[in-house]
Amino acid sequence: MVVGMGLLRHQPDEPVGERFQMREKLLSIGDDYWIEDDQGRRAYKVNGKAVRIRDTFVLEDAAGNEAASIQERKLSIRDKVDIERGGDTAATVHKALVGLRDRFAIDVKNGADLKAHGNIVDHEYEIERDGRTVATISKKWFRVRESYGVEVAQGEDVPLILAITVAIDSLT
């Protein structure tokens, strides 16, 4: 059940984005769980798989079609996670090396790069593009323990934002 309303900073006439409930911290590779929409309907499935030397999560839509593949790069110098679509890297998520606050840089292949900042470990953070919030992540919206909410701004690529959220969770 969604507790708060107006999670993103909306203008009065601006449409509200889509809201989803995520499970806190993936337990292990091999675990699967459903991401539900704000009506409690299963919207996407996170399918945990072990593939060769990389841990992989596959984001599937409700019909079972792959929306994105989230793969950790274990042999890189910095922790990185690639998000692939159709066999191509769509984005790479990595911890930023600047400052003491939790920050992640998201390099988007065919679009403007994103950044995530806030209290990542406690699931209280924002994802921004050019200073504009494209997603807000918060535990405060749900009474259910070990869950957190993701609100994706209207017009954004929902599967990509959800895959980025899974990638960040896997890096913390």
Mean pLDDT, residues 32-58 taken together: 79
Phi-psi bin for 168: left (phi > 0), alpha (psi -120 to 50), beta?
Answer: alpha
* Contact call for residues 97 and 78 (beta carbons, < 8 A): yes
Mean pLDDT, residues 152-166 taken together: 94
For position 163, what pLDDT does the model report? 94
SS3 call for 144: coil
Domains of the chain from N-terminus onward: 18-171 (2.40.160.200)
For position 144, what pLDDT does the model report? 64
What's the CA gap between 109 and 41, in Å, rounded?
31
List the end-to-end C-alpha distance of the chain, in Å, as a whole number.
Answer: 26
For 86-103, write each residue's pLDDT tens digit.
889 999 999 876 655 678
Band of residue 113 on the pLDDT scale cut at 50, 70, 90: very high
